Chains A and B, each alone.
Chain A
Amino acid sequence: MAAVDFNQQAVAFATQAETQTFLKPLNQAGLELFKAFPFPTRKTEEWKYTSLVALNKDNYNQAIQTSDVEDCEPLYSIADLNANRLVFVNGVYKQTLSNIEVQQGVTLVTFANATAEQQSEIAEKIGQVAETKRNLFTALNNAKASDGVYLNVAKDVQVIKPIHVVHVTTAQANPASAFSRNLVDLGIHANATLIEQFVSTDQEQNVLLNQTTEVVVGDGAKFNHYRLNSEHESSLHFGGVYVDLNRDSQFESYQVLLGGKIKRFDILVNHCVGGSHCEMKGVYLPKNKQQVDIHSYIEHKAPNCTTNEVYRGIMADQSKAVFNGRIHIHPDAQKTLAELSNKNLLLSIKAQINTKRELEIYGDDVRCAHGATVAQLNETAKFYLRSRGISAQEADIILSFGFINELLDSIPLEALRIKMRPLMAEQFTSDRELTKHILTDGESA
C-alpha cells in the first residue's frame, strides 16, 4: 500500500465536509488551525512515545460508509443503570437506540435535533474550552464537528438520571474517520453525571474516532464524569476532554482505558476563578501490542483550588503506555493544593511505560506533591499467597487486580463498578476459574 499524507488528506476531507450551517465558523477556524499543524513525528514532544505511522499507511480521511449495526445493545448495556442514553454508531446518532427523558431545567439534545434557538446557544459556546494549540486532532475535530450532544443545566437543577453517551464503532469496507462532540454547560449550583462510553464490534476496526468533550462547570456546580474505553484492540481513538471550573465548582472524573492500536486521551482542566476542586482517577490496562497514551493538563489559574490526580496502569505482554501529567500553577494561584500520583505495574519484560510529570510552579504559597513509580509484581506478596495454597497463576491475577482495585472501588456509581470489574478482570485472563475470587469479594459475599 502506498504511503499517504494524513494532513493533506485531512484538509481535503474537511474542506468537502457537509456540516451544520451554524457550526461553519467553528469548522472554518478549526481547518485553519489544523493546516498550521505539522504531522507529529517522534521528535514532536507531545507525541514522543506514540507513533502515528499507522495513519500514513491507510487513508483514514474518508467518510463513514455505513452506520448500520445489528444487536449492538449488549456491547454497552450497563445493568441497573437508569440513565438517559444517547447512542452514536460511527459518529451517527441512533434515535432508535437512544432514550431521553425530559426534565425541567435540563436541555439534552443532539446538535442536529436542536431548535434554532438551541443551535445558536451551541454556536456561541462551542470551541470556547477546547484547547487546539497542542493537539492537531482537536483542531481537526473543530474542522469536522457536525453532530454531538448538547447538555445545558439551569441554575440549581440536579439532573436526576446520569447521561450515558455511547459511541460504537464498526468495521467499514474502507478506512474512515468519525467525529463527535459533547458540549456541557452546568449552571450555578447545578449537578450532572456524564458517562462517556466507547465500545466497538468484535472485529478488526478501521474507523478512526475523533471525539471532543467540552464542559463548563458553573459556580458551586458539580460535574461527575466517567470515560470508559473498552473497544476492540485494533481501535483508533483520539479523545479530548476540556473542562472550565468556575468558582467553588467541583469536577470528579473516572477514566478506564483499555488499549487500542492507537489510543490517545487528553484531559485539560482549568481552575479559572478560585475555590474549585478537581478529582481525577484513571486506570489504563493495555496488553498484547496495544497502546494507550494519556496526557493530563491541570491549569491552576486562580487561588484556593485543589487537584487530586491518581492514575494507575498495568502493562502486559508487549504493550506500551504513556502517562504525561502536567500541573501548571500560575503566579496568581496562591494556596493551591495539587497532588499527582502515577503508579505502574509491568507484567512482562517487553511491556513499556513512559511516565513523565511536568510541573510548572509560579505561585510561592502552594503545595504540589507528586510521585511516579514503576514496578513489577511483589514476589514476597506472591509467596505469601502461594503459601496459603493459592496457585501461582491466580496469585498473579489477584495481585494485579489488587493494584487497581482501590481505584475501582472508589467509583461512586455502583452499576458501573459492577460493570467494570469483570471487564477489567478479563484483561488479565479469560479463565474464569482464575478470576472467580476477585469477582466475588467481600462486598457481594
Chain B
Amino acid sequence: MLSIKNLQAKVEEKDILKGLNLDIKPGEIHAIMGPNGAGKSTLGNVLSGRADYEVTGGTVSFEGKDLLDMDTEERAREGLFLAFQYPVEIPGVSNLEFLKASVDSIRAHRGEDPMNSVAFLKLAREKCKAIDLDQSFLKRGVNEGFSGGEKKRNEIMQMMMLQPKLCILDETDSGLDIDALQVVAEGVNSLRDPNRSFIVVTHYQRLLDYIIPDFVHVLADGKIVKSGGKELAFELEEKGYGWIEESTTKGA
C-alpha cells in the first residue's frame, strides 16, 4: 500500500527527516513512536503534501503511484487521510458544507455521482452518533469553538465519512481524557479492514492499549531506529526513549 524509501525532508532550512524507510501492507496498523522533535508530525505533513515541508530526497509510492508527485487534494482523493494533531478552526464554513464538498470531490474522483443532500445528512448524523458528537456540530463552523476532544472526534468523524485507504493519525491521543480516548479508539477500530491501513503517530503507549498495532517503530532523529511488535511499545514506556538513543548510539 505504502512504500517509503530513504525519505528526507526539511522545514525552514532544517533537516527533519533523514532517510526514513517504511513499508505498509493493506490491513496493517503501524505505530510510530518517538521523542519530541524526532520528526513524527513531519512525516504526516510530508505524506499529505503540506507546502512548508520540502522533500529533499527519497521516494514514496502509494498503491504503486508516486505520492510525492501529487497535490494535497489528489492524495486525499487517492485515499490518504491525515487526522490533524491540531485541527484548524474555520469560522463561517459549516462542518456540513465542508464535509459535503469533501465527500463530493472524493466521489467525483472515483467516478461516482454526488450524494443527494438527504442521504448525505443521514450518513453524517449516523457518524456523529457513532463518535458521540452532537448533531448540532454539523451546523457549526468547522472546529469553531470545539474543545480539544471534540476536535479530535471531528477528525475521526471525517475519516469515517471519507473511508480512506490509508489513515494517518497524528498524535490523535494528545489532550484526550481516557473516556474520549476510548471513543476515538472505537471509531478507529470500527474502520479496521483488510484493505485499510493505519499509521498511528503517538508519543505515549496508552493509545496502543486501545488501538492494537501490528508493528511499532521508533523514530529518532529523522529515521526509524528500531522496529518490532506491539511489545516494543511497552518496553519503550518502561525504559523511556533514552534507552533507544543509548542503544543506537552504542550500535553505531
Contact = CB atoms under 8 A, between A and B. Distances in A.
Interface of A: 378-381, 383-392, 394, 398-399, 401-406, 437-438, 440-445
A402 B105 contact: no
B50 interface: yes
Contacts of A404: 92
Interface string B47-82: 011110000000000000000000111011100011
Interface stretch (B5-13, B32-40, B95-103, B235-243): B95-103
Contact of B48 (A379, A387, A403, A442): A387
B98 A385 contact: yes
A438 B93 CA distance: 8
Contact of A398 (B49, B82, B97): B97
B117 interface: yes
A55 to B, nearest CB: 37
A388 B76 contact: yes
Contacts of A389: 73, 76-77, 102, 105-106, 109, 162
Contacts of A392: 71, 73
Contacts, number: 101
B72 to A, nearest CB: 4
A295 B142 CA distance: 33
B148 interface: no
A394 B100 CA distance: 12
Nearest to A383: B50
A441 B97 contact: yes
5 contacts: A379-B51, A381-B88, A389-B162, A402-B91, A405-B92
B51 A381 contact: no
Contact of B91 (A380, A386, A390, A406): A406
Contact of A440 (B100, B109, B158): B100
Interface residues of B, number: 41
A266 to B, nearest CB: 28
Contacts of A403: 92
B139 interface: yes
B18 to A, nearest CB: 24
B82 A387 contact: yes
Contacts of B49: 387
B132 interface: no
Contacts of B51: 379, 383
Residue among B92, B117, B139 with the highest chain A CB neighbour number at 10 A: B92
B26 interface: no
B98 to A, nearest CB: 7
B92 A384 contact: no
Interface in B95-150: 95-98, 100-102, 104-106, 109, 117-118, 120-121, 138-139, 141-142
B27 interface: no
A3 B135 CA distance: 64
Contacts of A443: 139
A437 B100 contact: yes
B84 interface: yes
Contacts of B92: 401-406
B17 to A, nearest CB: 19
Nearest to A394: B101
B178 interface: no
Given A379-B51, A384-B84, A442-B96, A390 B90 contact: no
Residue among B75, B93, B95 with the highest chain A CB neighbour number at 10 A: B93
B19 interface: no
A384 B117 contact: no
